[in-house]
Structure formats: structure tokens, C-alpha cells
Structure 1
Amino acid sequence: MFTRVVFVLLLLITGSASASLINQQRLPARYMQTTEDATIWAQVGNNVVTVGNVRAGQILAVVPGAADYYEFSFGFGTGFIDKGHLEPVQGHQRVEDTLGDLNKPLSNQNLLTWRDTPVYNAPSTGSAPFGVLADNLRYPIISKLKDRLNQTWYQIRIGNRLAWVSSLDAQEDNGIPVLTYHHILRDEENTRFRHTSTTTSVRAFSNQMTWLRDQGYTTLTMYQLEGYVRNKMNLPARSVVITFDDGLKSVSRYAYPVLKPYGFKATAFIISSRIKRHPQKWDPKSLQFMSVSELRGIEDVFDVQSHTHFLHRVDGNRHPILLSRSYHNILFDFARSRRSLAQFNPHVLYLSYPFGGYDDKAIKAANDAGFHLAVTTVKGKVKPGDNPFLLKRLYILRTDSLETMSRLISNQPQS
């Protein structure tokens, strides 16, 4: 037990899967057979958790790990299994799927588990059970097929074994919701922005965050969202990204105290030219921006990213001014914003287009300026393989009920 605790702590410190023997040293795999039902675990998001079990008699391709553990491929990362549950494969024993096609590409799709989910050796509930995937996982799909009863099966790969999950036991992933907020006020002080869709109430925001906590959601960083878009990271099924545009003072005053006790993470897309040198006296009747010290005070919850430097303006026709600027002007602004925000975050890699306005020039400039992803105001969820510079988001309004929020962020396809 002591060895497991030390090993898990080491994984969390070193980055686990990214520092694994499989990914870094590429040691040759050995085929081993489970001698009994064996628990497996892996890094999912920031945590090393139990991710299921493998039944006795199953063959896995593993490599040496820590003293008491083997490592094997699990999703987009590395799984771990106690060496005491494995023994060398005897003779020329084979399995039907010949241990899987190591070069077969993934399909840019995942399945989601909402409970412990059976995994089979063939696309039939009558086939031998391979094991179980635990609740709250996103797992990459290789392909899908329908059986004779027109039932859909998902083909997956675990430890270089091909295995199957029924669509009756798991859902296909319809994307991660990225929630968009701007301004928050108490109901009694909101006299100017009550009918502004981008202003929500402290009460509504607090209720929404409590609902997410109670439903077991994990709040992702933009770095984790990038791992998801690029198919490089295992993440929980119940995942959401929280973003705030502009950098208004109400974020530090009202949003931060709600998020911090829950251990939630969020992203603040900051208009870098509007950062104040000193905090302003609170005035709910005006749009005030955070100061240097206020931004530093929320860094344990909010990750600072870019909402441009001078381009957050509209022209005489109420169109985003970015759309009328040249590529070089946009590129200069994006680069300036990244430099300005480096005092808060040396990894400013993500952009929110001002007013959701973008064109081909802006997309190219975002890429050339060194951003990895950019978010829009187009309604929808983020899926693997999406254009990284045209990611969709969702608005939860002050007047939306928790039932409405549940429908928006649930795994149902968006209309």
C-alpha cells in the first residue's frame, strides 16, 4: 500500500502519463496474462484514479514501470497494473484479435461512461468479458459497427488489445461545453445592466457552480481542452470549461469567491490594454476592469489568457474593429497582448476573439502569433478534431433555470 501511495504521488508530481516509460523511453512491450481479476488505474485529468479492471486470463502488452507495476496503453495515456496480477504468456497462446492493430488510427470520437461499463472481447454480450471501464471516463473509439440486431458497438483499444463496448452501456461523446461569462452583479445593485445578456447575477452564478459541483463536474483548463481537441489527454466524462471575457472587476469581486471553495478552475480572457495600475473603488453602475494586484489575487483559480490588446472595439456600424484591420495590424496586436500578459502567465497560448469577430486574417494571425487555440461566440460544444482557432462556446444566462443549464451542457447533441 505504501508503494502505491508513493508511486501515485510521484506520478502527480512528474506529470504521470507524459513522463511514462511507454511514451518517453518506448521500451519494448511484453505480452502478459492476468492471473486474476486486476484493478487498473491511470491519469484522468490531473488525478490518478481507478479506471476499471481486467478479467482473469486476459492478455495485455505491458512494459516495466515502477517496482511493483507494469504500464500499458490506456486511451491517450498510460495505465498501470500490479505486477502480482500478471504472468508471462504460456507457449504460443493467442487471442482472436491478435492483440490489436497498433497502427490503426483513432476515429476522432470518444465514448463516455456514466457507470461501471462492461468491455467484451467481441461485439456480442455473449462473448467473453474483457473487463470493466469505470464511471466518468472519456475513452477513444477506433470504429463502430452494428450487429445482427442493429445494435451499435464501439471498438476500443486497451493495452494493445482490441475490445468492444455496447452503445447500451455507454454514450458517444458530443463534446465538452465551454461556458462564457462576462459580468456579475448582485441583483439589488444591478440597475444599469439588468437587460444585458452578458451580465449575470451573483445568485444565478453561485447556483450554477453549486449544481456543477453537486453533479460531479471537473472544471478543465484551456491546456487540458487543447489536449482533448488534439487527442492527447484522458479526461473525465463530466467535464466543463469556465471562461470569463474582458477582465472586469466583478470577476475578482464576485466570481472568484464562488469558484475557490469548490476547487474550480477558470480562464480569464483579458483585454491587456485595460488592466488598471491600481484597484478602482467599486461602482456597479460602470464597467470597471481589474488591476494588476486584483489579477494576481485570483491566479490560484483563474488562468490569464488573451482577449487582444487594443482590438476590443467596434466601428461606427457596431462591427468588431478587428474585421477592418490588416493582417499585420492584427498580428502586432495579438503579439503585444501576449507580451503584456506574460507578467501574469508565461504561457499565454489561448485567445478569445473580441465580440466573437474573426475572419481568415484573424485566424492566420492567431496561429502566427503563437496561440494554440482560439474561442468564438458561436454556439456549440468543443469536439476532438475541431478547428483549433474556431472553437465554440455556450452562454448560460441570468434567467436560465438549472434545468436549462443541464440540457445545454448534457451530452445530448446540440440543435
Structure 2
Amino acid sequence: MYHHLQKEGTFNSKKYGRVVIDPERFEKQMLYLKAAGYHTITLEQLRDFVLYNSPLPPKPIVITFDDGYLSNYIYAYPILKKLGMKAEINVIVSYIPDEVNHQKPGVYIPCFTWKQAKEMSDSGIIEIESHTYDLHKYMSNGFRKIPMVMGPVIINGHLETMAQYKKRLYTDFLRSREIIKEKIGKAPICLAYPFGAGNKISDAIAKKVGFEMAFGIQQGVNYYGDNIMKLKRITVTDTDTGQDIVNKINRLSRETEFLLPPLLCSQFP
């Protein structure tokens, strides 16, 4: 699980929870994984494996990015293209600027444009998926602040009813999916929950609007028969080497009771 790429020494790693990765380190990680025999697969391949046990290449991995930062386009995209590897990016749709609408106020790390997103998608290297339209934030439910996907929150001074909460999720999920389809020419099949805050209600609504799978942020590998709406991922940190990533895969694989080929899903929550 990746987010933003930025050259080491130009940011405070503690501020961002150690998930900002130096582009050179990212390239070395990809080179190591490729040399170690790992194969990047598409979300369709992942879906078909989890649901139907469809065959996969040896050591299959999914490289994922959350949010949609410009650094993904500047650094990750050309590196992956050069190495013949694939990835997917879950974008916060309301954050993505175009030639008319500039960067949304309050978004402090620049995001790539829809033109750049389409270029990446058309290349076959990058899949553009959803991280909701505009639910990547915490709000109060009257007792504490919770991720907006998790449950009813106070909006305009009033706590949502359960019906209003469900309608908000439906409207947001559908809007994110329709805009991506309009801009990219391909409807997304995957929803990455902000902060990993999915639940049974959000899963049902996500499926209703057309999403076929969902990522959380629980650490782990994925197996045939797992819950397709609760797919695990492995967080890559700013100090990880390629060997560290492989060690994480192996450690998390041993923690499961199944003996099936593991999958790595790499992707700020």
C-alpha cells in the first residue's frame, strides 16, 4: 500500500506516518520484487482468484496507491512502465483537478489531472479506481470523530438518521464511479475505504452501485474464498527495502492457516 512519493529530506516523515516514499527507493523496491520473481497482476485477476480460484502467475502481487497524488504520475508511472509492471490508483475523486477546475482548497499535496489519469489508464500500466468522491475525512457523531464512511455523523448541526447516512454513502459512491467512467472511459470495479472504515452497510451499498471489490488497510495477504469486500494490504514504509517487503509477505503468509499462494496489495489510508 503506497500513497505519495517525494525525495527524501524534503519532508517531515513523522508528520506523514512514514508512508511517503523516496522515488529512488520505490524504484529499487520494484526492481527487487521483479528480480525475486514477483508478477504484478490486475484487479480483475485478483477478483477472479479470490472468487473463483482462477490461476495466477507465480508470486502474484497488486501494487496499489491511494489518493491520486501527482507524484504517482511523475515518478511511479514511468518507473512501472520501464519495468513492465502494473499498478492501480484509488483516487479521491473530488480532489482531482482538470483544465477548468483547479486543485481543491485544502488539498496540500498536488494531485494529477484527469488528463494525466486517462493517459495512465490508456497505457494499460495503471488502473484508476475509487477512494470515494469526498468521504476521506473524519467528522463528529456527537461522541467522537469517526471516518465518514463508518456511520451517521453530524452535518449542518444535526446527526444523520440511518437513512440519511445510507443515502450519503450511495450518492458519494455512485458519483465517484460515474465521474471516473466519464473521465477515463472505464468504470472502476474497486473501492478503497478511507482509513479502512468499511462495514456491512457500506459493502452492500458499494456493491449496489457497481463496485465488485474493496480494499481496507488491515495488514495481510489475500486467499481464495476471502471476503472480496475486505481485501487486505501490506503497508510500505519510508525505510523498507525490497527484501523488507518480501519479509513482510512471508511473515504474514505464515500467520494464516491456509497454504495457498499469497498476494501482496501495496497502497495515507
Q: Does 1:233 align with 2:73?
A: no
| C-alpha distance in 2 between matches for 1:191 and 1:407 | 26
* CA offsets 1:307-326 (integer angstroms, 9 cap, x no match): 11021111254521112341
Structure (1/2) with the larger helix percentage: 2
Q: How big is the alpha-carbon RMSD for the aligned residues of Structure 1 and Structure 2?
A: 2.2
Q: Which amino acid aligns with 1:338?
A: R
Q: Does 1:303 align with 2:127?
A: yes
Partner of 2:137: 313
Partner of 1:275: 96
Q: SS state of the match for residue 332, structure 1? A: helix
Structure 1, unaligned runs of 5 or more:
1-179
Q: Which amino acid aligns with 1:374?
A: A
Q: Does 1:414 align with 2:238?
A: no
Going from structure 1 to structure 2, the CA distance change for 1:259 and 1:240 (only over 3 Å counts) comes to same
* Bigger radius of gyration: 1
Partner of 1:328: 167
* CA offsets 1:124-183 (integer angstroms, 9 cap, x no match): xxxxxxxxxxxxxxxxxxxxxxxxxxxxxxxxxxxxxxxxxxxxxxxxxxxxxxxx1011
How far residue 330 of structure 1 moved from its aligned partner, in angstroms, is 0.5
| C-alpha distance in 2 between matches for 1:381 and 1:192 | 26
| C-alpha distance in 1 between matches for 2:119 and 2:221 | 30
1:389-404 matches, within 5 Å, as 389-404=229-244
How far residue 395 of structure 1 moved from its aligned partner, in angstroms, is 0.6
Moved over 3 A (4+): 191-195, 278-281
How far residue 370 of structure 1 moved from its aligned partner, in angstroms, is 1.3
| C-alpha distance in 2 between matches for 1:235 and 1:192 | 36
Q: 1:346 aligns with which of 186, 194, 202?
A: 186
Q: SS state of the match for residue 33, structure 2? A: helix
| C-alpha distance in 1 between matches for 2:203 and 2:88 | 20
Q: Which amino acid aligns with 1:360?
A: K
How far residue 254 of structure 1 moved from its aligned partner, in angstroms, is 1.2
1:10-409 matches, within 5 Å, as 180-191=1-12, 196-278=17-99, 286-299=108-121, 300=123, 301-316=125-140, 317-325=144-152, 326-342=165-181, 343-409=183-249
| C-alpha distance in 1 between matches for 2:50 and 2:3 | 24
| C-alpha distance in 1 between matches for 2:199 and 2:52 | 26
Asked if structure 1 preserves the Cα contact closer than 8 Å seen for 2:170 and 2:209, the reply is yes
Identity across aligned pairs (percent)? 28
Going from structure 1 to structure 2, the CA distance change for 1:309 and 1:212 (only over 3 Å counts) comes to same
How far residue 409 of structure 1 moved from its aligned partner, in angstroms, is 2.1
Going from structure 1 to structure 2, the CA distance change for 1:406 and 1:358 (only over 3 Å counts) comes to same
* CA offsets 1:13-51 (integer angstroms, 9 cap, x no match): xxxxxxxxxxxxxxxxxxxxxxxxxxxxxxxxxxxxxxx
| C-alpha distance in 2 between matches for 1:229 and 1:205 | 27
The number of residue pairs the alignment matches comes to 233
* CA offsets 1:364-406 (integer angstroms, 9 cap, x no match): 1111111111010011111111111111111111112333212
Q: SS state of the match for residue 267, structure 1? A: strand
Q: SS state of the match for residue 237, structure 1? A: coil
How far residue 197 of structure 1 moved from its aligned partner, in angstroms, is 2.5
Partner of 1:106: none
How far residue 246 of structure 1 moved from its aligned partner, in angstroms, is 0.5
Structure 2, unaligned runs of 5 or more:
153-164, 257-269
| C-alpha distance in 1 between matches for 2:225 and 2:16 | 36
TM-score (normalizing by structure 1): 0.53
Q: SS state of the match for residue 189, structure 1? A: coil
Going from structure 1 to structure 2, the CA distance change for 1:346 and 1:331 (only over 3 Å counts) comes to same
